[in-house]
Structure 1
């Protein structure tokens, strides 16, 4: 039997099973390189943008005003689809969540939102800004539903941070409190994530000082 034939099983089902784990590990390694201030800014700014987006949508609906161009909204206020998941990924990376299967699952779920957002934003730029055809067709925007996978990713991330113990307990509590409160109340997530940002930076400062 040739060496090529002996290598075939390595590219079969076993490789398929390990590919997601490898992708999750790569995501966590990349997120681990983010400095604490960048993580804090991502979380705080993301929450403020999400809050501002919700307020703007309410105002536009109440006044009957037209919404801004789709590509413009995706380039500005809707950047929270990138910032919050990236910040959460960085928190997972800081507690070594890659060693847990649940941590790798959370990393993959958190990555869906940013990937979908970037893809649709690029499409909206070409379709709306360059070609002048307005918003993307509804059949294309169906893909945006995949972004909702970020939600269970955030919940799982918060639970894993609580499990990790130490300073991560406060991170997990604030992450979950802000996310869950945002389902019912405006502004709470922004407050919680600004506080979370401060806690993350303060924790990193204590570690460096120690």
Structure 2
């Protein structure tokens, strides 16, 4: 019986030790996570600051996105303005070419208008010669087709140019030109030529009026700037 008591005593002793050790460990662990009021206040303060910083970062990100959109809109507007300015410059150059303020050179077409070679004796001679109306038709068609510059017998037409028929000659801005009348136009020949040769178009109308018409593409036509004004 004594041996059994010794064993039981040892078991109880070990069990008591384990219980005591476990309690001590639990107590120590509780002390590790335990925080004072000052620490809790600091933790709350830092947490609140973190929340505030995150909110500020969100606002800044949203502001950055707005700035990006604004910059993109400004860039788009600037691109549109540059395009508009470029268009204005091109339009100005085109008008200056038409008014003769700028020299111009390039490919184009040549249209020669001649009086009829044969005039029946019983017919009115005026029905077989070139009039200013015929020249106007050609010039207007060429302008409509996008000609950059036009000249008649080498005399460049200006914005305010006038063409008048004076007997057998045609006057361009007061300068008289006899037939044949050579009208040169600088522009895309692939556009200018077909516009003249349309069915029932300018050439057909001139032929019906007994005007002899010769068309020719030109690789290079040069027209100097036309000086205007007195002196």
For Structure 1 versus Structure 2, the TM-score category normalised by the shorter chain is under 0.3
* TM-score between both structures, scaled by the size of structure 2: 0.26
Q: Which has the higher strand share?
A: 2
